[in-house]
Structure 1
Amino acid sequence: MKILVTGATGFLGSRVVPRALAQGHEIVGLARSATAAAALRRQGAAAVTGDLDDPAGLAAAFTKADCTALLNIASLGFGHADAIVSATRAAGIRRAVFLSTTGIFTSLDPPSKRVRIAAEHTIETSGLDWTIIRPTMIYGGSDDRNMARLLALVRRVPILPLPGGGRRLHQPVHVDDLAATVLRALSADAAVGRGYDVAGPRALSLRQIVAAAAAAEGRRVYCVPVPARPVLAAVRAYERRAATPRLKAEQIARLAEDKAFDIGPAMRDLDHRPRPFGVGIAEQAAAQRRAAGRSAPAARASRRARVMSRPDQLRRLIRDVRDVAAVAGGSTALRFGAAIVHHAPAVLRTGTLDAADRAMARGSHTYRPLPGVQITLPGGAFGGAREMYCRGVYHALPGFAPAAGEIVVDLGANQGLFSVLAARAGADVIAVEAQRGFASAFVNHAAANGVSHRIQLLHALVGPSTGVFADPRARHGATHWEGDVDGLTMAQVLESGGADRVDLLKLDIEGSEFALFDEPGWLEAVGRLVMEVHPAFGDPAALVARLRRHGFEVTLLANDLRRVRDLAGASSGYLYARRDGWSAGTAAAGPPAAVPAGIPG
């Protein structure tokens, strides 16, 4: 197909043109300047000179291009629709796809809204074989401006004020996914005479978007609700005074609106396949780091530090110290409390206890997280042990602690803290970790606590189509990535471990849990499970519904381990599930015996 493209050198157009050329299409780009024409030719496209502000010249340019289809990516918000439609008809072009925006559905009344609605009416009454594509906010790549500001912001600040608490829904679409869908629209017969809302796979609250952006930069940001009206007034005042304002009142006002859209028709007719926002923003953060020459953030450190910026900060600090005292003893708690005081400026600045955890790195610490269970670890593992053992994030509810005689699977084993806990409790463990760089610490922790014979360690990816590690570039940039590993299904994990029944499944796989639960069959082999959930990569409510359909009783916990009804708006949380009538400790295949932790696979 020979396609005339307007807006061919812009943010979206620069993705569409090379994709179209790779698919064998012939591309002619409308170029207003010699610079734009040269850019098109460098990509292998042809160029025709024309200006949307010159209707007569535009018609001549369209005719000269001699194309069979039009892809109008240029904005419809500047009053050019009549000229574009007239030029298209004059050139004898029948098939035309136009880019509009879901912004036309806003309850606000900016001037551009009226212009765009009028433009759509012009297109719909043009007599052309038209299709209108209305994307939501577009993001992605090192040249993005929408999410680039947010990524820069979360790198600098631990606390972010959000008008209205960031509860309203947004559904950003990745620029590469949009480019693919736009091209498919040109050849989709079902799309003629129709308009499509094109967005990401699911709507997310602004809080969830901030949390995903922060995770992509290796940060945790605490969102502070602020009243929307004073913020709006302040931005209006700024906009009046600034010659070229970087923030507009309309942008703030739109934060008070839900921007969630039904992409079902686009998926049906245009094969629209958007990536999860968590994956897309991680890719964008990586691209921007490469462009700026910055190194990747630490990927999956021992455990994530919790944000400590709430008004009840002092009470939470006291609770943390008490948790340490209860599990690691009074002397360790005193040392930890002193470290918090000594590093108070860093704790307050970052909103985390990272600095205090690092101060505990000298020597070793002994923990008693469960009755009859004692574990000794080097000081460098203190931050992870504080979360895993002292807070007890994976055995916070009665009946979920690993027990003697059970088969336990630890997905996302990291340096082995949960695996060692389960093995010390008398369970046999199949541990799975994608980053080989953790193997040395894992093996040492297991050996030092006398449980190497109870643990089989597999190096593999599970659920690789979603989550932080869905992007190979993110995997290779991870701090402990030391070579590619196989991708395994859950059924293959159980087969490798010689088990056909799992008493307890623990998951912390950075968003890949959503792909894992799409695999059929394996849930029937699990008695109870506990996992950290990452809402940026999927819908926690869908996980809950699926587990309940399989006979599980489900409980959700917030990051502070309070019971909650849902995880909407949360950056992460915990899901506990137990199957009614499950008889623990009777795994048919017996304990795993293929590869002990001392010989990582």
Structure 2
Amino acid sequence: MRVFLTGASGFIGSHVIPKLLGRGHRVLGLARSDAGARQLEAAGVDVHRGDLEQPESLASGVAAADAVIHCAFDHNFATFFENTKKDERNIAAMGEALEGTHKPILITSGVGIGTPLNGGSATEDVLNPQHANPRIATELAGAALTARRIDVRTIRLPQVHDATKAGLITPLVTEGRRAGAVAYVGEGNTRWSAAHVSDVAKLYVLALEKGEPGARYNASAEEGVTARAIAEALGKGTGLPVRSIAADEVERYFGWMAPFAALDMVASNAWTRARLGWEPTGPELLTDLAAMDYVSLSEA
């Protein structure tokens, strides 16, 4: 297939490319800039010029491909709500181009959207339309397309990592340096699911080749790593002290990340593994945090 890949030059998309090419697919990658276009060309990818601010440019990419993998998302958390609405518009625009075809589109969400109302591990069968996370807009946009018989498959991401980056965990280093310590709330028993970026890329390709219309897949290789273990790994890597804090200290130590500090973001992967035969093999989160170059991270 010729696959239109948004976010092709990003952290996850750049790992999806070789997985697709290795399976014999061709890739049409979205590029906003000349530098991005050159990066994609060097990776053996055809270039489609476009921008997340121009939904019509994504729709034309869809028309030129046999399938879509939508990894792109504006991760500026200062405008997070607005960015989820932008994602909703872009999914809707791509859906218009998919109308009446059998082309699949894989969209990207977060595992937290699958958390049951009474708590517990997030599962693929749960979709709460009243979820407090603004990222629910992505899944509601996908559900609207599914209702129109468009083949939508959702990849729900945990903390995606390698030895250079780790989802929401990497920004904790910046906030820890600002506050003078790496913190966890209470006993640090809350947990975040995680997966190595190579395993996540593998899952996108499996969902493309073997996935089902309307299905949601949890990319959680590790169902949960404790906040205390994460903080201790960051403290060891940065040389910062590690401390437990009370709820009223969260904003001081976590800054803009305060809303995430005490969240339990555990996600089951049993259904996804059974349906797609996904077998994660990459390094675990704490292994990558131990190997991370924290000096370079501070200069980034």
Rounded Cα–Cα distance in structure 2 between residues aligned with 1:139 and 1:193: 27
Task: Report the counterpart of residue 229 of structure 1 in structure 2.
Answer: 248
Residues 551-581 of structure 1, C-alpha deviations (whole Å, 9 max, x = no match)? xxxxxxxxxxxxxxxxxxxxxxxxxxxxxxx
Aligned residues: 271
Matched, 1:208 2:229: yes
Residues 263-319 of structure 1, C-alpha deviations (whole Å, 9 max, x = no match)? 001111223333576x44434553637968xxxxxxxxxxxxxxxxxxxxxxxxxxx
Task: Report the counterpart of residue 93 of structure 2 in structure 1.
Answer: 83
Cα gap change, 1:182 to 1:159, in 2 (>3 Å): same
Q: Which amino acid aligns with 1:254?
A: F
TM-score scaled by structure 1? Answer: 0.40
Identity %: 24
Q: 1:4 offset after TM fit, Å? A: 1.0
Q: 1:32 offset after TM fit, Å? A: 2.6
Rounded Cα–Cα distance in structure 2 between residues aligned with 1:123 and 1:281: 38
Please, which runs of 5 or more residues in structure 2 have no aligned partner? 74-82, 118-130
Cα gap change, 1:273 to 1:209, in 2 (>3 Å): farther
Q: 1:168 offset after TM fit, Å? A: 0.9
Task: Report the counterpart of residue 132 of structure 2 in structure 1.
Answer: 109
In structure 2, the residue corresponding to 1:171 is in which secondary structure? Answer: strand
In structure 2, the residue corresponding to 1:24 is in which secondary structure? Answer: coil
Cα gap change, 1:204 to 1:59, in 2 (>3 Å): closer
Bigger radius of gyration, 1 or 2?
1
Q: Which residue of 178, 186, 191 maps to 2:200?
A: 178
In structure 1, the residue corresponding to 2:183 is in which secondary structure? Answer: strand
Task: Report the counterpart of residue 72 of structure 2 in structure 1.
Answer: 74
**Larger RCO: Structure 1 or Structure 2 (Cα < 8 Å, ≥ 6 residues apart)?**
2
Rounded Cα–Cα distance in structure 1 between residues aligned with 2:206 and 2:70: 14
Q: 1:227 offset after TM fit, Å? A: 1.2
Task: Report the counterpart of residue 219 of structure 2 in structure 1.
Answer: 198
Task: Report the counterpart of residue 78 of structure 2 in structure 1.
Answer: none
Rounded Cα–Cα distance in structure 2 between residues aligned with 1:55 and 1:162: 40
Q: Which amino acid aligns with 1:288?
A: D
Matched, 1:263 2:269: yes
Rounded Cα–Cα distance in structure 1 between residues aligned with 2:57 and 2:174: 42
Q: 1:128 offset after TM fit, Å? A: 2.2
Rounded Cα–Cα distance in structure 1 between residues aligned with 2:160 and 2:9: 16
Q: 1:89 offset after TM fit, Å? A: 3.0
Residues 250-274 of structure 1, C-alpha deviations (whole Å, 9 max, x = no match)? x323322211111001111223333
Residues 569-597 of structure 1, C-alpha deviations (whole Å, 9 max, x = no match)? xxxxxxxxxxxxxxxxxxxxxxxxxxxxx
Rounded Cα–Cα distance in structure 2 between residues aligned with 1:29 and 1:93: 20
Q: 1:101 offset after TM fit, Å? A: 1.2
Task: Report the counterpart of residue 133 of structure 1 in structure 2.
Answer: 155
Q: Which amino acid aligns with 1:179?
A: A
Instruction: Check whether the contact 2:190–2:227 (CA below 8 A) recurs between aligned residues.
Output: yes
Cα gap change, 1:255 to 1:274, in 2 (>3 Å): farther
Q: Which amino acid aligns with 1:22?
A: G
Rounded Cα–Cα distance in structure 1 between residues aligned with 2:143 and 2:179: 45
In structure 2, the residue corresponding to 1:203 is in which secondary structure? Answer: strand
Instruction: Check whether the contact 1:178–1:198 (CA below 8 A) recurs between aligned residues.
Output: yes
Rounded Cα–Cα distance in structure 2 between residues aligned with 1:180 and 1:230: 39
In structure 2, the residue corresponding to 1:199 is in which secondary structure? Answer: coil
Q: 1:5 offset after TM fit, Å? A: 0.6
In structure 1, the residue corresponding to 2:201 is in which secondary structure? Answer: helix
Q: 1:144 offset after TM fit, Å? A: 4.8
Q: 1:15 offset after TM fit, Å? A: 0.9
Rounded Cα–Cα distance in structure 1 between residues aligned with 2:180 and 2:13: 35
Q: 1:27 offset after TM fit, Å? A: 0.6
Rounded Cα–Cα distance in structure 1 between residues aligned with 2:40 and 2:161: 22
Instruction: Check whether the contact 2:110–2:135 (CA below 8 A) recurs between aligned residues.
Output: no
Please, which runs of 5 or more residues in structure 1 have no aligned partner? 236-245, 293-601
In structure 1, the residue corresponding to 2:265 is in which secondary structure? Answer: coil
Task: Report the counterpart of residue 340 of structure 1 in structure 2.
Answer: none
Rounded Cα–Cα distance in structure 2 between residues aligned with 1:156 and 1:51: 33
In structure 1, the residue corresponding to 2:141 is in which secondary structure? Answer: helix
Task: Report the counterpart of residue 328 of structure 1 in structure 2.
Answer: none
Cα gap change, 1:247 to 1:172, in 2 (>3 Å): farther
Q: Which residue of 89, 98, 106 maps to 1:97?
A: 106
Cα gap change, 1:227 to 1:151, in 2 (>3 Å): closer
Rounded Cα–Cα distance in structure 2 between residues aligned with 1:161 and 1:151: 10
TM-score scaled by structure 2? Answer: 0.76
Rounded Cα–Cα distance in structure 1 between residues aligned with 2:51 and 2:177: 40
Residues 386-426 of structure 1, C-alpha deviations (whole Å, 9 max, x = no match)? xxxxxxxxxxxxxxxxxxxxxxxxxxxxxxxxxxxxxxxxx
Rounded Cα–Cα distance in structure 2 between residues aligned with 1:2 and 1:55: 20
